[in-house]
Structure 1
Amino acid sequence: MTQQTEEMTIVEHLSELRKRLIYVLSVFVLGLIVGFFVADPVYEYLTKAESVKGFVLHAFSFWDGIGIYMKIAGLFSLVVTLPFTVFQIWKFVSPGLRPIERKAALKYVPYVFLLFLIGLSFAYYVVFPMALAFTTSITEKMGLVETYGMKQYFSFLFGIVLPVSLLFELPLLIMFLTAIRILNPTRLRKMRRVAYFVLIFIAVVVTPPDFISDLLVMIPLLLLYEFSVFLSAFVYRKQLAADEAEESRYTRASDDNSMNS
C-alpha cells in the first residue's frame, strides 16, 4: 500500500513537471512568434551600432539572413520566457516548501528579468566592443582583408553576450537556493576557491586572449560572487530569526497547554 502510494506520488510529480514544461514551451513559442516581428528593428539597431561602423557584412549563404532573424527571435523569446520559467520552477518546488520559504522565494522572480537586462547591457556595451576591437586589431596587424559574414558576426556577438547575461543571474540563483535551504553563506565561503576558479575560467574563455580584457570581465564576475555571498548571508540571518521566533511561539504554546492541563 505504501509502495503504491509512493508510485502514485512519483507519477503525480512527473505529470506536474510535464505540465510546467508545456507551459514554458508554449510561452517560448509565443515569444518566438513575436520575436520575428521585432527581429528587423533589432537587426537594424545592432548593425548600426558604433562598434560595427566601417564593417560591411556579407551573406555567404541563402539562409544567412533567415538564420540571423531566427537567432534574434530566439534571444528575444529567451528574455521573455526566463522569468516565466523561473516562476514555473518555483510552482513545481513550492509544495515542498514552508509558507515562509514560499513567500521568500516568490519575490525573487521579477528580478530575473532585471538582472538579465543588466548583464545584457554590460556584455553588449562593454565586453563585446572590447572583444571586437581586439580581434580586428589582430586582423589588421596580419595584413588580412576584413570580409565579415553576417552569420559569423552575429554568432560572435551572441556567443559573448548570452553567457555573460546569464552569469548575472548568479546573485538571484544563490538567494533562491539559500531561501529553500540548499545553500548557506558558510558553504559558499568554503566553495570560494572553486567558484573563483570557475568564474575566472569563464572570463578567460568569453573574452579575447589579453590580460586587460580578461580583467575587465573577471572583476565584475568575482564581485558578483561576493555580492551573492552577502545576499545569502542576509537571507540566512532572516531564516534563523524566523526559526527562532517560530520555536519560541511553539515553546510558549506548549507551556500554556501544560499549565492549563
Structure 2
Amino acid sequence: MVKVESTEEKEMAYLDHFAELRKRLLWTALIFIIFFAVGLYFVQDIRDFFLNDTDLTLHLIAPGEIIWIIFTIAFIVGLTATLPFFCFQLWLFIRPGLTSTERKASLAYIPAIFILFLSGLVFGYYIFVHLILPFLLSLNDGMFETIFTVENYFRFVFRVTIPFAVLFEIPIITMFLTSLGIVTPKFLVKTRKYAYFILIIIGTMISPPDFFLQIIVAIPLIILYEISIVLSRIIYKKKMDKHEAYMQEDSNQEER
C-alpha cells in the first residue's frame, strides 16, 4: 500500500512539474507572438535599415518572396526579443532545485545570453556588409549586370548573421557546462586544435570561397573559444575552491 502511495506521489510530482513547464512555455509563446506582431508592424523600417547599407536594387520575381521576407524578419524580431524572457522562465522553472548562490550565479547568465546574441547579430551583419558582399560584387568586375532578388539577398544576410548570433553563445555554454562538470578547462585545451578546425570549417560555410575572408571570419570564433577557456578556468577554480572548503569543513566536523 505504501508503495502504491509512493508511486502515486511521484506521478503527481511529475504531473506538477509538467504543468509548471507547460505554463512557462505558454507564457513564452505568448510573448513571442506579441513581439512577432511588433516585428510585423515595424517590418518596413527594419527592411529599410538593411537596405540603407547597400546600393543594390532588389527585384521581386514572385509574390511569395515578399511574404517570406516579412514573416522571416518578424520571426527573427520575435525570437531575439523573446530570448531573455524564455531564459528567465527556464530559470524560474529550475530555481526550486538551486541553492541561493546558484540562483544568483545562474540569473546572471540571462542578460549575458541576450547581449551575446545581439552582439553576434551585429557582428555578422557588419562582416556581411563590409567584407563578404563587397568581395562578391568585386568578382563581377562589371562583366555582368548584377541582379539580386529580395529573397536571395535577405536569405544570404540571415545565413551569415544568424550563425554568428548562435556561435557568440559559446562562452556562456562553456561556463554552464563547466559548472555542471561536463567539461573542464583541461578538456577544452586538449581539444583546442579540433575546435579550431571545426570553427574554420564553419567560417568557410559562412563566408565566400576566399582564404583571406575565411580567416577573418574564423578569427573571432577562435577568440571566442579562447575566451571560453579563460571563463571555464574561472568557473572551475571557484567550483574546486568550494569543494575543498566543503571537504575541509566536513573533515573538521569528523575530528570533533
When normalised by structure 2's length, the TM-score is: 0.88
Task: Give the letter aligned to residue 14 of structure 1.
Answer: F
Q: Is the 8 A contact 1:128 1:161 kept in 2?
A: no
Task: Give the letter aligned to residue 73 of structure 1.
Answer: A
Residue 26 of structure 2 is aligned to residue 26 of structure 1: no
- In structure 2, the CA distance between the partners of 1:172 and 1:47, relative to structure 1 (3 Å rule), is same
Structure 1 residue aligned with 2:187:
187
What secondary structure sits across from 2:42 in the alignment?
Answer: helix
Q: How does 1:146-225 map to 2 (within 5 A)?
A: 146-225=146-225
User: Alignment partner for residue 15 of structure 1, among 11, 15, 19?
Assistant: 19
Q: How does 1:83-102 map to 2 (within 5 A)?
A: 83-102=84-103
Separation in structure 1 between the aligned mates of residue 174 and residue 92 of structure 2, nearest angstrom: 18
Q: Deviations along 1:120-173, whole A, 9 cap, x unmatched?
A: 2211112443221222233447x3321111111111101111111111111111
What secondary structure sits across from 1:63 in the alignment?
Answer: helix
Bigger shift: residues 18-27 or 147-156: 18-27
What secondary structure sits across from 2:63 in the alignment?
Answer: coil
Shift of 1:250: 4.0
Q: Deviations along 1:55-109, whole A, 9 cap, x unmatched?
A: 1111112233332222221111111111222223333344444433232111111
Q: Is the 8 A contact 1:179 1:236 kept in 2?
A: yes
Q: Deviations along 1:25-73, whole A, 9 cap, x unmatched?
A: 1211111011112222111111111xx11x1111112233332222221
Q: Identity percentage over the alignment?
A: 36
Structure 2 residue aligned with 1:118:
119
Q: Is the 8 A contact 1:67 1:151 kept in 2?
A: yes
Shift of 1:251: 4.1
Separation in structure 1 between the aligned mates of residue 253 and residue 191 of structure 2, nearest angstrom: 40
Q: Deviations along 1:185-226, whole A, 9 cap, x unmatched?
A: 123223323322221111110000110110001111011011
Structure 1 residue aligned with 2:52:
48
Shift of 1:4: 4.2
Unaligned runs of 5+ in 1: none
Q: Is the 8 A contact 2:128 2:157 kept in 1?
A: no
Shift of 1:236: 1.2
Task: Give the letter aligned to residue 158 of structure 1.
Answer: F
Structure 1 residue aligned with 2:83:
82
Q: How does 1:62-77 map to 2 (within 5 A)?
A: 62-77=63-78
* Count of matched residue positions in the alignment of Structure 1 and Structure 2: 252
Separation in structure 2 between the aligned mates of residue 6 and residue 169 of structure 1, nearest angstrom: 36
Q: Is the 8 A contact 1:105 1:179 kept in 2?
A: no
Q: Is the 8 A contact 1:120 1:161 kept in 2?
A: yes
When normalised by structure 1's length, the TM-score is: 0.86
Task: Give the letter aligned to residue 146 of structure 2.
Answer: E
Task: Give the letter aligned to residue 16 of structure 1.
Answer: E
Separation in structure 1 between the aligned mates of residue 96 and residue 196 of structure 2, nearest angstrom: 34
Separation in structure 2 between the aligned mates of residue 48 and residue 180 of structure 1, nearest angstrom: 45
Task: Give the letter aligned to residue 29 of structure 2.
Answer: L
Q: Deviations along 1:3-36, whole A, 9 cap, x unmatched?
A: 4444444434433332332222121111101111
Separation in structure 2 between the aligned mates of residue 155 and residue 221 of structure 1, nearest angstrom: 22
Unaligned runs of 5+ in 2: none
Separation in structure 1 between the aligned mates of residue 91 and residue 192 of structure 2, nearest angstrom: 27
